[in-house]
Homo-oligomer: A and B are copies of this chain.
Amino acid sequence: MQVATAPQDVLAHLRQWLDTAGAARLPPERTLAERLGTSRGEVRKALAVLEAEGRVWRHVGKGTFATLGATTGAPATRADPVAELARATSPPEAMEARLILEPEIARRAALRATAVQVAELRRLSAAMRAAASWPDYEELDFRFHELIADAAGNRLLLEVERLVNGVRRAVVWGHLARRPQGPSPDYHSFDEHDAIVDAIATRDRRGAFEAMRRHLDSTARALEEDAE
């Protein structure tokens, strides 16, 4: 089960992926479409733009690949700030920023989230439990936190969240990508996500704050243990 992504964000999403992820090969169009919760046509339209810019290279049967080296493209090759920042940020720094930001965002989301947004959060949480691979889970998790920031009803906070979480994803990338199968059924984040959604749904502001803090704490702890 998937939740829709705004059509115009597909291009921006792929742009960021190109700037941050280290892999030369992109996932297949069909996989991208499902992962982003959109149609293959939307993905192809975005890829067509990137191809016209010379940033990707496609070939039937082989796949889609990021253009190596200098993009030398016509457009003024503006570097993605997220990518640049990611190279200058350590995992603990990214985690610290999240811990400052996201509990407060969750608190406001509990106050301002609409029923539609809560329902989407529920769908995303359920989809994460069913994720077949870590990249799938990663993408859903990103959108989960992004949607909470959206529900907080502050455009500036949403943008800050995107920046922080984009950097976080870029920094941690590769950790999880190579694992063969997806998260185990008892992965700690599943229940934590549900707890966050429950608190938001019941307008429990303090509960949302605490649930988010616990979630990020245990994620940070898992990240530390993983490094040993």
Contacts and interface: CB of A to CB of B under 8 A. Distances in A.
B104 A100 contact: yes
B85 A52 contact: no
A179 interface: no
Given A74-B74, A100-B100, A85 B156 contact: yes
At the interface, is chain A mostly helix, strand, loop or mixed?
helix
A71 interface: no
Copies of this chain present: 2
Contact of A89 (B76, B93, B156): B156
A154 interface: yes
24 contacts: A11-B52, A48-B49, A49-B49, A74-B74, A74-B75, A74-B76, A75-B75, A78-B78, A85-B156, A85-B159, A89-B154, A89-B155, A89-B156, A93-B154, A94-B156, A96-B154, A96-B157, A97-B154, A97-B160, A100-B100, A100-B101, A101-B160, A156-B167, A160-B164
